[in-house]
Structure 1
């Protein structure tokens, strides 16, 4: 089998509400979903989700190769792009091709990827994550009631700008999940998306912890600040989670060496091979790993195969326009299907006919760091 080509495709995710974090908001509830389709001479096509940056340059590393040699081809793509830093969106492009190759490999074997990777159980525990910072109380309650109807009893809220507003919103969601669980204690997390300084993070979280029990605080300071993340971890009861915006093991090593992380995260956009390597590195430090992403289907399959998976982020309950997934949400978990590969089916005609266009680009809104982030004496009003 040989790789013969690729094509890029774009669709959109309809959230039906505003989504965002401390850095900004997509007010129209539409976000772009770029995809890469890799074709072969045996008629098998693989699907990966990720950026369309330097596509031709990255593809040159795998053109004409046997797609089943996925991990070797992953390293070949990294070598192809090492002068470009093979980080950021370039790393995301590599991840998209990598995910498509894993899809092909599993399809060629006639197995779902979770089985091909050695997974025993198709059930992948999940937690709810609404990208909810712009929701009023009524919409916040309604959103997490929908998650609760699917059995989720753990939730991660966006926050970091107003400690009392964060307390209020976390309490509302706690009550929703407690009621849905028949009084059982729910799990709560807070994601600050790098908006604090070290001292701000400790003050904010410690204040919340006077009345709330947080499982983890996510990205309390800059993602690369090993000393700062470790300092926050020493100053609060909650675990410290980060890693979704780190690309390459070289970016994780100093954080793990400094004891900066309690929960190791990696994003779906960076690909399956990256996740597997990060999971192994975390396991070597006796740390759990947790995938992040709007459409993390590739990492869900991979998560089923690693010994230290904790829980995967569930952001949205429906797939993007023109995308069908062989999975369901049940009893607080993703339940993967038996379709060969990732179980992703595309309706390219429907995608091509879709006229929805996000009003906010992916490099605006939450993608732009506010000027005063990490430099405020007082938290901004909600």
Structure 2
């Protein structure tokens, strides 16, 4: 069997609500979902999700190769772009191809991916994380109530700008979840400096037993994360925007992360390798953004140090069917061979709405004043 080509699709996820964080909000709630389909000479196809970045430059590492050699092909893609940098968006293209390769491998084996990767239990523990920064306080209870109806007792709120509002929203989420002792996390999305983070988290902890504080500082600030971890009770969670083990090494060596995160958009092999690096240090792993790459849930089921996975929405993108159920406070993986992702290309072609994570008002564009505030409030 040989890889002969690939094609790309672009669909959207309609969240049915504004989505965003402290950096910005997409008011329409419609975001883009890139899809990559790897083709073979035997007609079996692999589906990947992530980005379309640099696919043309990466594909020569795969063309004519047996898709079952996933690990070797992953490293071949890294090697292909090592001088021009395999970080950032290019790493997302590698992740999309990587996911498609694993989907192919599992299909050829006639196994669901979670089973191929060695998992015994198809259930993946999760927490509610609906990117809630743009949701008015009076609508927040209904949003978290929908997650509570699926058994969730843990939630991550977006915040970091207004302490009083964040505390009030934790109270709303606690009531909506209806749990005796819910696990709460706060995600500041790299918007603070170190001392601001210490002050803000310390104030939160006077009222809330915070499980972790996520992305409090810039992703590369290993020393700052280590100082913050030693100054607050909450665990420090970070890593979703790091691409490649070489970027994790400084923060792991500095003791700057307590919950090691990996972005789902970077693919399956990446999460496996991050999990091994974390496991060697007795640290738990939490994958982030499974809405951008549902296949990563299969890895979460198989790794020994998985803590909990981010469940951002209860729906799926237009024209995409996922063989899984969100129930019992997590994800129940199905039995369909492969990663469990099916694509209806006709439905995608017929849908005309569009959205873009990179719109200027959205969460993927950093505020020019982020990290430059001394008080809790203000632009």
* TM-score, length basis structure 1: 0.97
Counterparts of 1:126-145 in structure 2, within 5 Å, are 126-145=126-145
> 1:310: which partner in 2?
307
> 1:176: which partner in 2?
176
Shift of 1:14: 0.4
Distance 1:362 1:344, change over 3 A: farther
Tell whether 2:95 aligns with 1:98. Answer: no
- The number of equivalent residue pairs is 378
For residues 63 and 170 of structure 1, the distance between their equivalents in structure 2, rounded to whole angstroms, comes to 50
Which of these residues, 199, 224, 227, is aligned with residue 228 of structure 1? Answer: 224
> 2:284: which partner in 1?
288
Secondary structure at the counterpart of residue 255 of structure 2: coil
Distance 1:343 1:363, change over 3 A: farther
Secondary structure at the counterpart of residue 215 of structure 1: strand
Please, which runs of 5 or more residues in structure 1 have no aligned partner?
Answer: none
Tell whether 2:189 aligns with 1:193. Answer: yes
Shift of 1:313: 0.4
For residues 223 and 306 of structure 1, the distance between their equivalents in structure 2, rounded to whole angstroms, comes to 24
Shift of 1:201: 0.4
Shift of 1:381: 4.6
Counterparts of 1:117-266 in structure 2, within 5 Å, are 117-177=117-177, 179=178, 181=179, 184-266=180-262
> 1:369: which partner in 2?
366
Say if 1:195 and 1:221, in contact at 8 Å, map to a contact too.
yes
Shift of 1:84: 2.0
Counterparts of 1:103-114 in structure 2, within 5 Å, are 103-114=103-114
For residues 232 and 175 of structure 1, the distance between their equivalents in structure 2, rounded to whole angstroms, comes to 29
Which stretch shifts more, 101-110 or 130-139?
A: 130-139
For residues 100 and 94 of structure 2, the distance between their equivalents in structure 1, rounded to whole angstroms, comes to 10
For residues 302 and 131 of structure 2, the distance between their equivalents in structure 1, rounded to whole angstroms, comes to 27
For residues 331 and 174 of structure 2, the distance between their equivalents in structure 1, rounded to whole angstroms, comes to 22
Say if 2:50 and 2:292, in contact at 8 Å, map to a contact too.
no
Secondary structure at the counterpart of residue 39 of structure 2: strand
Q: Which runs of 4+ in 1 moved over 3 A?
A: 359-364
Counterparts of 1:18-33 in structure 2, within 5 Å, are 18-33=18-33
Which of these residues, 325, 329, 349, is aligned with residue 332 of structure 1? Answer: 329
Q: Deviations over 1:173-230 (max 9, x none)?
A: 01211x2x3xx21110000000000000010010010011000000000111000111
Secondary structure at the counterpart of residue 190 of structure 2: coil
> 1:379: which partner in 2?
376
Shift of 1:60: 1.0
Distance 1:230 1:359, change over 3 A: closer
Secondary structure at the counterpart of residue 247 of structure 1: coil
> 1:88: which partner in 2?
88
